[in-house]
Amino acid sequence: MRRLLLAIIVLAVIGAGAFWWITEPRPAYPRDQWAALEEGGDAERGRIVFDAGGCASCHTTPGQNDRLKLGGGLQLKSPFGSFFVPNISPDANDGIGKWKVVDLANAMLSGVSPEGAHYYPAFPYTSFHRVKLDDVRDLMAFLRTLPPISGKARPHDLAFPFNIRRTLGVWKFLFFHRGDLAPDPSKSPEWNRGRYLVEGLGHCAECHSPRNFMGAIIESQRFAGGPDLEGKGNVPNITSGKGGIANWSKKDIVELLTTGLKPDFDTIGSTMGEVVKNTADLPQSDREAIAEYVKSLPPRDSAARRSATGQ
């Protein structure tokens, strides 16, 4: 009996140790390297990063029209509860005014806060981890030019066990693997730029892909559309598969990203309308690069169609 009890204790200790190791937050950069990462940064280029990343769509203070007042507070509903978008203005007390570039880099590239805690993947570091460090520097340079906004967003409203941040380490162990996007020399510079914008900064797959029961993107159905996480219908398929945009030209995609106008002359709505406000401010060459890459996506049938046919 004593041997059995001892074995149970040993297994429990090993299990606890394994859990603690797996769930340990692992920032991309040690914070003591902050001085080196502060070197450089161009606010003008950072505005392009800001628009490409869609920062204003989530972080703008609700109820006012200035997209550069980033006081946060927007509610994002999900099957796991409600997330409330934080203040990322330069306010020193309520925003990120005390952050260094290393803090922004660790948040975007590894989903780890300055306090060493996991961020929930409602913040799309699952795509942002592909962003270049130079773009992070430029983004921080731009954010520092914006007006400080007082007031913190309310805490997330999540059910147990999703309210325990440490458990996100298990989710990351299963579904989050950092890596950059090395240029494909067999493709054009325009295609490579488009891939970087779509797969990285633009984080398009985060909305345009179905997810499994744990909230991770189903990679085999990437970009094939799926249910809106807030329960507002379905997000469209942007591949050339059935139910997608096979009949759209590159020019059609550029037009949508510029004016919000679809080929049938209908206007885009819902959250994509906010996205277009960002892409409309991008250089024309970036909108064309996005269209070039989107047109090259492998064809995948819409998730709804697969579900209906049992495929």
Digit-coded pLDDT (tens) for 83-100? 999 999 999 999 999 999
Q: What is the mean pLDDT of residues 24-51?
A: 92
Torsion, Cα 203 23 116 182, to 10 degrees, reads -40
Q: What is the mean pLDDT of residues 202-206?
A: 95
Q: What is the mean pLDDT of residues 48-62?
A: 95
pLDDT confidence of residue 310: 30
The answer to whether the beta carbons of residues 310 and 301 sit under 8 Å apart is no
Q: Cα–Cα distance between 125 and 116 in angstroms, integer?
A: 15
pLDDT confidence of residue 67: 92
* Digit-coded pLDDT (tens) for 238-251: 999 998 999 999 99
| pLDDT higher at 214 or 202 | 202
Closest CA to 202 of 89, 47, 51: 51
pLDDT-derived band of residue 180, with 50, 70 and 90 as boundaries?
confident
pLDDT confidence of residue 305: 43
The answer to whether the beta carbons of residues 83 and 93 sit under 8 Å apart is no
pLDDT confidence of residue 306: 41
Strand extents, DSSP E, 121-251:
157-158, 226-227, 234-235
The answer to whether the beta carbons of residues 168 and 23 sit under 8 Å apart is yes
Q: Given a cut of 60, is residue 308 above it in pLDDT?
A: no
Residue-range domain boundaries for the chain:
27-154+162-175, 189-305
Q: Which two tokens stand for residue 289?
A: 């690069």
Q: Cα–Cα distance between 37 and 97 in angstroms, integer?
A: 16
Question: Which parts of 116-249 fold into alpha helices (H)?
Answer: 125-128, 133-143, 168-175, 189-195, 205-208
pLDDT-derived band of residue 161, with 50, 70 and 90 as boundaries?
confident
pTM score of the predicted model: 0.90
Q: Cα–Cα distance between 165 and 254 in angstroms, integer?
A: 39
Q: Given a cut of 90, is residue 283 above it in pLDDT?
A: yes
pLDDT confidence of residue 231: 65
- Within 8 A by CB and 6+ apart from 132, the residues are 180
Mean pLDDT for all residues in the chain: 89
Q: Given a cut of 50, is residue 145 above it in pLDDT?
A: yes
Task: Read off φ and ψ for residue 227, nearest 5 degrees.
Answer: -65, 140
Task: Average the pLDDT over each of 118-127, 136-145, 155-164 and give the range with the smallest value.
Answer: 155-164
R_g (Cα) of the chain, nearest Å:
21
Q: What is the mean pLDDT of residues 284-292?
A: 97
Q: What is the mean pLDDT of residues 46-70?
A: 94
Terminal alpha carbon distance of the chain: 52
For residue 183, cis peptide bond before it (omega within 30 degrees of 0): no
Specify burial of residue 257 (Cβ count, 10 A radius: 0-12, 13-18, 19+). buried
Q: What b/e sequence results for 202-234 when a residue is b if at least 16 CB atoms lie within 10 Å of its CB, and e otherwise?
A: bbbbbbbbbbeeebebeeebbbbbbbebeeeee
Q: Cα–Cα distance between 153 and 94 in angstroms, integer?
A: 9
pLDDT confidence of residue 9: 65
